[in-house]
Amino acid sequence: MATRIGKSTIVFTDKPAIIGYGSVVGKKEMEGPLSAEFDTHDLDSRFGEDSFEKAESRMQKIAVETALRKCLKSENDIDAIFAGDLLNQCIGSSFGLRAMGIPLVGIYGACSTMTLGLILAALCVDSGAAKCAAAVTSSHFCSAERQYRFPLEYGSVRPQSSQWTVTGSGASILSAGSGKPYIDKGVFGKIVDLGVKDANNMGAAMAPSAADTLINFFNDTGSSPDDYDRIFTGDLGRVGTDLLYILTEQNGFNIREKHDDCGLLIFDRNRQDVHAGGSGCGCSAAVFNSYVLHRFESGEYKNVLFMSTGALLSPTSTMQGESIPGITHLVNIRI
Amino acid sequence: MATRIGKSTIVFTDKPAIIGYGSVVGKKEMEGPLSAEFDTHDLDSRFGEDSFEKAESRMQKIAVETALRKCLKSENDIDAIFAGDLLNQCIGSSFGLRAMGIPLVGIYGACSTMTLGLILAALCVDSGAAKCAAAVTSSHFCSAERQYRFPLEYGSVRPQSSQWTVTGSGASILSAGSGKPYIDKGVFGKIVDLGVKDANNMGAAMAPSAADTLINFFNDTGSSPDDYDRIFTGDLGRVGTDLLYILTEQNGFNIREKHDDCGLLIFDRNRQDVHAGGSGCGCSAAVFNSYVLHRFESGEYKNVLFMSTGALLSPTSTMQGESIPGITHLVNIRI
């Protein structure tokens, strides 16, 4: 059963625990600082498939299978899987999970998808609607680039504020009460759109929504950054992270010492040509289901905020002159 | 709190009730047999906007505002809205709901979206995570046609098995225990893909998943078609409906006398040039939030099964030679 505190925060009362998790990434991610964290990778980023879209689907399947294996569960044990991605009509998820026979709840939150899936899976388990539920998402540099921007062969020049879509996927398996890290609270984010129209500056478009969700959560719970071991955002990158610091400080919260952005963790910006940092659904999904959860296992983390950040644009909306709505969902993970 | 029966069926214990609902459609739908049922329409299907995508967004906003008005609620009363559509990156929902300030859960289920949103909103209300939650979806013939198929100006010839995307939207507002029709049970569907590759025959691609979900529900609950006043599918059209009858009969269930397909109700196939019937997220959404719920209000219906049916393809997956995965979610509505 769940309850609500304040305006936005859901409190789960049955400790829906993350009992299994898996991560899979591509070549560039394996060359980055987190290479030792990931479960699986593929050196040509095609994962044995003949298209980038099929490679992305394959990654979701691998991530779910890895997570299931780690908690000794099978596909039949999962009552619902919450899955989505960046591809048109979310085909990364539909085709990746097609053969698994797990009841599928398709979700769309752009790069906020991992956290959105975690909240919904927690709700499902916490309410008794599922014994076990799963959340998965993915992104692939090559499928995203050619869908959102230009054909890869065109070799377009990218501005410094742009980010590099992570090739990766992450999956979590949730079950009630087990002593593992559990999802204590969740916040469904609201759309925040301050009018940013530059599709090469997603960090600036998403930062106001991240600030909105985080400040609402602090106010609802009466907590402050000091109460948490770490506060993660999904893929604000360098530009968005700096904006988030300014926006939270304007509201009396200094998160600088506590904050990490998955998009800044996954690549080394000095060494890897990723401009403002990593992005994509797979960015926060792969980092959460490796780096973050490993640190719960080792005892380093006991209380963490994890917020994936999404930019709800499409090439069509941009061509029609629209600005970029941002959305940020939040989970509070504890042990 | 929710419980589970059988393999797939969620039972809601707190009677999450549909306290408000709204529908909006375009010109062709107003020329069809259900014209007296809908709340709002626009005669040029542009709803005052300068693009079809923006018109679709506008329809979602109108549907939600209509539903809120009917139950004397405001945007501030809604703790979460479950919304999705057919457009790339679900921009119908993101831009339609952007200004409302309601926490947004983006969902993707192709034309199964209305039922998917109802299950999730029911779960949210039933678990205590929300006092009020909403579900909304939409489709627009012109935005769907140019995204999935050809530019409208091309005037391509359509085969007889093809369906006509409904221009419409529907929204439901849910709240706990009020004596109104409530969502008693829900089933998250599994992907069923029997290998149909004809993107002009969605009914055939979706029918096996509709049969799978319905048969699972009958088996889980020990019920039969006779126990229900009516059984609705979303948009199987003529071809898919006939296949559903065959598939259910092979499993010992005859639904012919009890079944209606929203895609066959909304248009008159003898008079309107829609080939196999209506389709699109907006088809089952507009019919449910008018025709179906009106008959609960009048006392004609007391126990209904409502199943929106989705085809999880994209133009990219079709071009890459993929078949069309189908998915069908189900709710059991009672009073």
Q: What is the C-alpha separation between A97 and A3, in angstroms, rounded?
A: 32
Give the pLDDT band (50/70/90) at residue A140.
very high
Q: Which of residues 30-59 of A touch B (CB under 8 A)?
A: 51, 53-54
Q: Which of residues 174-213 of A touch B (CB under 8 A)?
A: 187-191, 193
Mean pLDDT computed over A219-228: 98
Q: What is the C-alpha separation between A215 and A328, in angstroms, rounded?
A: 12
What percentage of chain B's residues is helix, strand, coil (to nearest 5)? 40, 25, 35
Backbone phi and psi for residue A78, each to the nearest 5 degrees, phi listed first: -95, 120
DSSP code of residue A79 = S
Give the pLDDT band (50/70/90) at residue B18.
very high
Mean pLDDT computed over B17-43: 97
pLDDT, one tens digit per residue, over B176-201 is 877 799 999 999 999 999 999 999 99
Residue whose C-alpha is closest to residue B1's, from A174, B332, B11: B11
Could you tell me how far CA B270 lies from the centroid of its own chain?
24
What's the pLDDT score for residue A173?
Answer: 98
Contact across the interface for B128 and A190, Cβ inside 8 Å: no
Report pTM.
0.98
pLDDT, one tens digit per residue, over A255-297 is 999 999 999 999 999 999 999 999 999 999 999 999 999 999 9
Contact across the interface for A109 and B106, Cβ inside 8 Å: yes
ipTM: 0.98
Q: Write out the two tokens for B328.
A: 């069908």
How distant, in Å, are the alpha carbons of A116, A124, B308 from that of B103?
11, 18, 24
* Domains located in chain B, CATH noted: 16-176 (3.40.47.40), 182-334 (3.40.47.40)
Q: Write out the two tokens for A55.
A: 């490679």
Q: What is the C-alpha separation between A312 and B146, in angstroms, rounded?
A: 21
Give the pLDDT band (50/70/90) at residue B225.
very high
Pick from A103, A128, A188: CB nearest B188: A103
Q: Which amino acid is at A248?
A: T
What percentage of chain A's residues is helix, strand, coil (to nearest 5)? 40, 25, 35
Helix (H), strand (E) at residue A221: helix A202-221
Contact across the interface for A79 and B53, Cβ inside 8 Å: no
What's the pLDDT score for residue A278?
Answer: 98
Q: What percent of chain B lies above the pLDDT cut of 70?
A: 100
Q: What is the mean pLDDT of chain A?
A: 97
Among chain A residues, CA nearest to B109 = A106
Mean pLDDT computed over B271-295: 97
Pick from B1, B189, B315: CB nearest A1: B1
- CB B214, CB B307: distance < 8 Å: yes
What's the pLDDT score for residue B155?
Answer: 86
Q: What percent of chain A lies above the pLDDT cut of 90?
A: 96
Residue whose C-alpha is closest to residue A79's, from A182, A1, A170, A173: A173
Give the pLDDT band (50/70/90) at residue A95.
very high
Q: Which of residues 212-271 of B touch A (CB under 8 A)?
A: none
What's the pLDDT score for residue B305?
Answer: 98
What's the pLDDT score for residue B214?
Answer: 98
